[in-house]
Amino acid sequence: MSGAERIPDDIAFQAINPAAYADDSVHDAFRWLRANNPLGKAELEGVYPFWLVTKHADILEISRQNDLFHSGDMPTTFTTIEGDKMVRAMTGGSPHLVRTLVQMDAPDHPKYRLMTQSWFLPQNIRKLEDRIRTIARQHVDHMASLGGECDFVNEVALYYPLRVIMEILGVPPEDEPRMLKLTQELFGAQDPELNRGKTSEPLQGPEALAAIQGVIADFFMYFKAITDDRKANPRDDVASVIANGKLDGEPINDFEAMSYYVIVATAGHDTTSSSTAGAIWGLCEYPEELAKLKANPALIPGLVDEAIRWTTPVKHFMRSATADAEVGGRKIAKGDWLWLAYPSGNRDEAVFDDPDAFRVDRTPNKHLAFGYGAHLCLGQHLAKMEMRILFEELLPRLESLEFNGAPRRTLASFVSGPKSLPIRYTLT
């Protein structure tokens, strides 16, 4: 490898370091990479070499070529060599503890996606608008009952999208706390306050993997009971679609059904929670943007997209090359592993003016937070609709808003967002 390709170790480490996502310093590393080595190779001890893709255009180019850059041949989220070997030993050779849409390539990916796709199309989620508005109003009323101070993440943002997706999935309200806890343990496995052991230090290697495996086992056990029920008594919910799903005329196997539940039950609310909290964080940090919204509520869809771009809850996915290729002037070899750095693409100066600023009237806003190509997020329309409705209910009643303490982010390099957001506000 030429010296020009190689990323300095300290910069490469920042890109994968969970703590850099918690204190936001990862953006310094990404800014340096976009300017100096936008598609460079990281060669760190204990991990497979990988390309760090930091430019919007290069992430798009890789994401639209799903035959050339696979999701499922190597781990789809970043791991160490030791972690990969442990997973393969547990699974009999597969690099994945679950097999969801995220880990699939064609021909399976489009077939599995088709099973639930109709549930998440704009014309179908529109039917849910009244129900979602009722849930949104309940959460705004709850916020109003808290006396003008709350931790917006832990009082509002976590619970609103959770209620919506669990209703669509078919999980009863009394089981929502369990679903939230498992989701936090899964995505927050690196965070001492959220992981299963509640350790004082971030979990590493075998301990982190064992914790994640335990969480997945708990999810599988829970959804096995739901599957058995929906096979016997199908209802008008996504759980019934998955439980009775068929692939090429044959019922899908338990492992893939369970994996399907896990992706809907976790990604279906966690990322929306993060973006919702990100919107409030942005409005606290940039009070002039709140004034713009108050003066012109038609900007609410712009707030939604900007919050999603600015927060970028999914930090990366990995791809691997199925053949030799060239991207961004670099020669990628067959089998090479690539890290798609979505927060970097979403702050690319070539695409976004003043990219670090939070601007509710940013147009166009061609962010990459939902991915691109065949793997474009299935629930993107639902997520944006949930956020829009919540802010349509909240903003007319919101007279003042400010931080009430230091906000904090989750320690995680895969999926993360605001962990605590203390605010002071006046609600009518």
User: Can you give the pLDDT of all 428 residues of the chain as single tens digits?
Assistant: 567 799 999 999 999 999 999 999 999 999 999 999 999 999 999 999 999 999 999 999 999 999 999 999 999 999 999 999 999 999 999 999 999 999 999 999 999 999 999 999 999 999 999 999 999 999 999 999 999 999 999 999 999 999 999 999 999 999 999 999 999 999 988 888 888 876 677 667 778 888 899 999 999 999 999 999 999 999 999 999 999 999 999 999 999 999 999 999 999 899 999 999 999 999 999 999 999 999 999 999 999 999 999 999 999 999 999 999 999 999 999 999 999 999 999 999 999 999 999 999 999 999 999 999 999 999 999 999 999 999 999 999 999 999 999 999 999 999 999 999 999 999 99
Task: Round to whole Å and give the CA distance between 139 and 125.
Answer: 20
Q: pTM of the full predicted structure?
A: 0.96
Q: What is the CATH number of the domain that holds 404?
A: 1.10.630.10
> What is each CA distance from 30 to 36, 273, 342, 386, in whole angstroms?
10, 24, 10, 30
4 part of a folded domain:
no
| Other Cβ atoms within 10 Å of 261 Cβ, number | 25
Please indicate, yes or no, if residue 212 is contained in any of the structural domains.
Answer: yes
Q: In what order do the strands lie in the sheet with 398-403?
A: 149-151, 422-427, 398-403
Q: What angle do CA 219, 221, 227 make, to 5 degrees?
A: 95
Q: Closest Cα to residue 213, out of 226, 199, 196?
A: 196
| Residue 19: inside a domain | yes
The single-letter code of the amino acid at 91 is T
Report the residue count for the chain.
428
> Is residue 2, in this structure, part of any structural domain at all?
no
Number of independent structural domains in the chain: 1
What range defines the domain where residue 62 resides?
9-427
Report the alpha-carbon distance of residue 219 to residue 257 in Å, rounded: 11
Residue 1 lies in a domain: no
Does 183 map to a domain? yes
Are 340 and 373 within 8 A, CB to CB?
Answer: no
